[in-house]
Structure 1
Amino acid sequence: MKKICLLVCLVSFGGTLCKAQTYTPLELCKRILSRDTLPYIKKYCAGDFEGHPNGSDFAPHLKVSFTVLKQTDKTAVINVTLSDSTGNSLDTYFHLAKDSIWKVNAFRALAMTGMLQQMYDELKKMTPAQIDKIIAEPLRKGKDHRIFKSRDEYQYLLNNTELTLASDDKIVAHFQKNKEAFEQLKADLLTSPSVGKRNFIQALGAKNALSDKLKALYLHNAELDGEQTTNTVILNIGGIVDNYVGYMYIKDSKDVPEMSGDHFIMIRSIGDGWYLYKTT
């Protein structure tokens, strides 16, 4: 009888171990990225997340920090920042949903940054002579293939690419440092008749006061109203294809888009109706 009772207890205990432990979204992300492998990790996976990355995928010297961007009863987005000893950082985002327990359904970061990093590295190591040589290049088959046409454009491209690749905290710091200029740009965009007709303006390719202000803030373009709401100003820093990073101003917080693994992979409030965003 004692043997039977012991066997029943062992089976029950084993069944309990196999059940998924209940974690909050933040606890789950920390547990997944801990150095100790999370048992039964597949129980916490959904969507296109299959258990990687996890703590075993990262070098031991990396510092990992967590920020809750948003959490409701059913969904959550956690910003995970990976930093090395040189101060370089990569911001990533866990998207979670809850049924009976919280599960990760997507892991995202700004995509296709490899080409931008290569471009930044090439621009940064250029000598003044190399810069001037590109500026002086003649047309080829009647077409202008120069990536910049002046030293000012070169410096703008360098600054813009650096900001595109920067950590979220550095992008926010750039905004805070230049907040007065951002507020003035917003006001100009919302009241400019020329912008109202086109809803879109680029930093390069145009010579006017608005494009000059975009360049001064290292922005690529500006868009009014976008796809989501009215009273919205979208200031795109940069990116490739659909993978963009930038700032947006939204007058009413109820109009802020929902985050997802399919479009706005992150939205972070930076105060007074302004937000940092990334898309995919």
Structure 2
Amino acid sequence: MKHVFLVLLLWLPWPASALEPLEPLQIAEQFVAPGGWPAMKEYLCCEAAGQAKRETLGQQIPARLQRACQLVQQSLSTAVVAVELRDSIDRKDFYLHFGKEAGSWKLLAIRNLAMTHLGPPMVEILAGMKPAEVADYDLKHPDASHAFTLGNLKLWTSADADIAAHFTSNRPDFQKLLRLVQAGKYFASAQSLSPSAGEQAANADPAVHDLLRKLFLAQVTRRETECTSCLEFVIGGKVSSTVGLLYQPTKALLPAMHPDRLIVLKPLGDGWYLYKTV
């Protein structure tokens, strides 16, 4: 009787196999690939599930674009993967935020730096100015010259790789700027000045101001990432969607990435990070 029962079990249909567990980087690579992904919905949740109802991100973007995924951070319950899209002309960056649902990784949200489309038209206007127009512009904007504004706008709308290259090629000046701000103790917790007054004093320091302008940075602050122990060297942005360089040598004190605030924090080495907010 036991043998008959075993034979019957072998002939009965088995239940469908469980969902294959994928890591965030694997999900990201499938989600941005040019072809479709039949199992896509099983790996999406929340906001991302509402945005990608029929097609993956990879299907929605031009097929000619090359796609590269980089795991930026992964903990027990959250992860962030950076995605670079590029062709021979342009590069763009997106950030995929993941969380765990019933023990499985799910894509929760897709983020990128907002309103960068406003930059290229402004760059075109500034780059097309004649020498006399540039001189007139500099007279009207003594605190932000034509050269600074043009360089700042280009950097603000640059790809992450280009911002990282700008940092690397100017690392000595970034380190000098950091030392000046630290030596001034403008953001020291024991300082009698209010945080806003300390920030104003730092940006008004002639030596700090000159280096900020040389590096195409708008200001130094502590308000963009809500990290009271970090120094943020802001490149630019619109409203609360900003990009810049953050310094915090102690990893335990770094702010946590989140799709509703700090959308990416990429290490550049020696306590420096590229950050973006939304």
Could you state the TM-score of these two structures normalised by the residue count of structure 2? 0.83
Correspondence 1:123-138 to 2 at 5 A? 123-134=126-137
Task: Give the aligned partner of residue 119 of structure 1.
Answer: 122
Residue 200 of structure 1 and its aligned partner are, at CA, apart by: 1.7
RMSD of Structure 2 on Structure 1 (CA):
2.7
CA, structure 1 residues 7+124, in 2 after alignment: closer, same or farther (shift >3 Å)? Answer: farther
Q: Which amino acid aligns with 1:23?
A: L
Alignment match, 2:5: none
Q: Distance in 1 between matches of 2:104 and 2:185?
A: 51
- Tell me the CA shift for residue 134 of structure 1: 4.4
Mapping of 1:96-107 within 5 angstroms?
Answer: 96-99=98-101, 100-107=103-110
Q: Measure how far apart 1:181 and its partner are.
A: 1.1
Residue 56 of structure 1 corresponds to 59
Q: Where do 5+ consecutive residues of structure 2 fail to align? A: 1-7
CA distances 1:91-120 after superposition (whole Å, capped 9, x unpaired): 111001122321100101101112223212
1:93 aligned residue: 95
Give the paired residue count: 258
* Aligned mates of 1:38, 1:243 — CA distance in 2: 31
Match of 1:171 in 2: 163
User: Is 1:26 paired with 2:22?
Assistant: no
Percentage of pairs with the same residue: 28
Query: Structure 1: which 5+ runs fail to align?
Result: 137-145
Whole-angstrom distance in 2 between the partners of 1:60 and 1:214: 39
Q: Normalising by structure 1, report the TM-score.
A: 0.83
> In the TM superposition, what is the alpha-carbon distance from 1:53 to its structure 2 partner?
5.1
Letter aligned with residue 259 of structure 1: M
Moved more, 101-110 or 119-128: 119-128
2:56 & 2:157 partners in 1: Cα distance? Answer: 21
Structure 1's 262 and 184: CA in aligned 2 closer, same or farther, altered over 3 A? same
Say whether the 8 Å CA contact 2:48–2:110 is kept in structure 1.
Answer: yes
The Cα of 1:199 is off from its aligned counterpart by 2.9
Q: Distance in 2 between matches of 1:158 and 1:124?
A: 7
Counterpart code for 1:218: F
Asked if 1:160 corresponds to 2:152, the answer is: yes
Point out 4+ residue stretches in structure 1 off by more than 4 angstroms: 4-8, 133-136, 193-196, 201-204
Q: Which residue in the other structure is 1:83 paired with?
A: 86
In the aligned structure 2, how far is the partner of 1:61 from the partner of 1:213? Answer: 40
Contact 1:203 1:214 in 2 (8 A): no
Q: Which amino acid aligns with 1:76?
A: A
Paired AA for residue 215 in structure 1: R
Q: In structure 2, how many angstroms separate the alpha carbons of the residues matched to 1:168 and 1:202?
A: 30
Conserved? CA contact 1:24–1:102, under 8 Å: yes
For 1:67 and 1:201, locate their aligned partners in 2 and report how far apart those are by CA, in whole Å.
37
